[in-house]
Amino acid sequence: MAKEKGRKLIAQNKKARHDYLVIDTYEAGLVLTGTEVKSLRQGRASLVDGFVQLDGGEAWLHNVHVPEYSQGTWTNHSARRKRKLLLHREEIDKLAAKSQETGHTIVPLALYFKDGRAKVEIALAKGKKEYDKRQTLREKQDRRETERAISAVRRKQRA
């Protein structure tokens, strides 16, 4: 069996980018059981309520929903168990120091397979205020309108 190459996205947390200002991102490995890997290979997971907690010098991923494997038996995993993240000591220390600051948290952004191994992209993030969210939406809308206007002008020039 040939090992798959590249990055295969399983789940993405779009709401996190809306609710938080992403300061720094990290890629972490996951400690999983066999049925969890099989369930992820079917492309089933949800990062919506997920967060990362640091305790005892280790990083743990909480509230990420990986549904039970349909063909699993008594060896099946619980859907919302906490999972250990594999990070370098320096990364954990840096995250611990930064996450102690007021308003900072660590959230998962994406869950994917990279060269056959399950990885999660986590971000050190700061919560946005309501007016920040509105401003981000306004900027996004302005960018979209600008692109539409430019493409309309280009279409007229070609015609």
**d(Cα 69, Cα 156) in Å, to the nearest integer?**
54
The answer, yes or no, to whether residue 88 has pLDDT greater than 80, is yes
What does each C-alpha distance from 19 to 11, 15, 16, 98, 128 come to in angstroms?
17, 6, 5, 18, 6
CA 108 from centroid of its chain's CA atoms = 4
**What does the block give as tokens for 59?**
């990083």
Arithmetic mean of pLDDT over the chain: 83
Render the burial of 114-144: b for 16+ CB within 10 Å, e for the rest: eeeebbbbbbbbbebeeeeeeeeeeeeeeee
97-142 pLDDT, tens digit each:
888 877 788 889 988 988 888 899 998 888 877 777 788 888 889 9
Residue 70 confidence class, pLDDT cut points 50, 70, 90? low
Question: Which residues, other chains included, contact 6 with Cβ-Cβ below 8 Å and sequence gap of 6+?
Answer: 114, 115
Give 31 or 75, the one with higher predicted confidence.
Answer: 31
Beta 51-55 vs 7-12: how paired, if at all? unpaired
**d(Cα 93, Cα 95) in Å, to the nearest integer?**
5
